[in-house]
Amino acid sequence: MTPILLVPGLLCTAEIFAPQISALWPYGPVTVASTLEGNTISEIAIHILAHAPPRFALAGISMGGYICFEILRQAPERVIKLALLDTTARPDTPEQTAQRRALIALSRKASFKTILSQILVTLVHPSHRRNAHLRDVQVRMGLVVGVDGMARQQEAIIARADSRSDLAGITVPTLVLVGDKDPLTPPDRAEEMAAAIPNARLVIVPECGHLSTLEQPEAVNRALIEWLMAT
């Protein structure tokens, strides 16, 4: 059985993959990586690799996808399969960087819990914006990461590499998945990656925003199980 390594996104804990852990467990031991150590994407990847199985199927959501690209750069021989969920190979735009730094500044002077609950509407499908369960999960995860942790992750994201030139060299079986209404890393970013990665499979999840693993867990689980079972 293939060990499975899941990498959370910004302001996320293992709970971002709660619906996947039990669904994927029959196909191999599941580990959720910690993204709480390191000041850069490279340092976070080094920490994850130090605690990861020798070889593994690798899946990351959002910031987790950026870390997956870095893990591939540092230890390609350890990655058996790759799944990129609601992410992009592109670097930050100046506008995105400005938004990130504005959120850091706001979080240091306002109620972080309130900010976390308000962030949900910017992430999810319009039909999920009033979903109390998703809001509660978002708040719980964010409070665990904390303001300082969020700031560190945001700066790591801002400084991340442009991974587009690496896509053609990815040779492992790859799944690229995105919500059809993902406002942060929209489907055209997923299509760009899937077109550049040899033999990648693209899945666009209906009625879904950026938090696909929580918004449409059954559809995501099906795609991940097919990815794990593919030869």
Q: What is the DSSP string of 210-226?
A: S-HHHHSHHHHHHHHHH
Query: What CATH number does the domain containing 61 carry?
Result: 3.40.50.1820
Q: How far apart are CA 193 and CA 209, in angstroms?
A: 18
Give kind and range of the element (H or E) at residue 108: helix 94-109
Classify residue 8: in a domain, yes or no.
yes
Residues whose CB is less than 8 angstroms from the CB of residue 49 and which lie 6 or more positions away in sequence, other chains included = 71, 74, 75, 78
Residue 192 lies in a domain: yes
Q: Annotate 61-96 with b (16+ C-beta within 10 A) or e (fewer).
A: bbbbbbbbbbbbeebeebbbbbbbbbbbbbbbeeee
66, pLDDT greater than 90: yes
DSSP state of 33: P
Query: Residue type at 168?
Result: A
Whether the Cβ atoms of residue 211 and residue 182 lie closer than 8 Å to each other? no
* pLDDT tops 90 at residue 164: yes
Asked if the structure places residue 133 within a domain, the reply is no
Judge whether 24 lies within some domain: yes
Whole-number pLDDT of residue 60: 98
Could you tell me if 62 and 210 are in contact, meaning their C-beta atoms sit under 8 angstroms apart? yes
CB atoms within 10 A of CB 202: 16
Give the Cα separation of 27 and 114 in Å (integer).
38
The pLDDT value recorded for residue 230 is 86
- CA–CA gap between residue 135 and residue 128 (Å, rounded): 9
Summarize pLDDT for 22-51 with one digit per residue, the tens: 999 999 999 999 999 999 999 999 999 999
Asked whether residue 22 is assigned to any structural domain, the reply reads yes
Range of the domain at 48: 4-92+157-229
Q: Is residue 109 part of a domain?
A: no
- On whether residue 19 sits in a domain, the answer given is yes
The answer to whether residue 43 sits within a structural domain is yes
Residue 80, SS3 per DSSP? strand
Name the average pLDDT for the chain.
Answer: 97
pLDDT in tens, 84-134: 999 999 999 999 999 999 999 999 999 999 999 999 999 999 999 999 999
- On the question of pLDDT at 231 being above 90, the answer is no
For residue 226, is pLDDT > 90? yes
Secondary structure letter of residue 7 according to DSSP = E
Structurally, the chain folds into a number of domains equal to: 1
Q: How far is CA 85 from the centre of its chain?
A: 6
pTM of the prediction? 0.96
Q: What is d(CA 64, CA 106) in angstroms, rounded to the nearest whole number?
A: 24
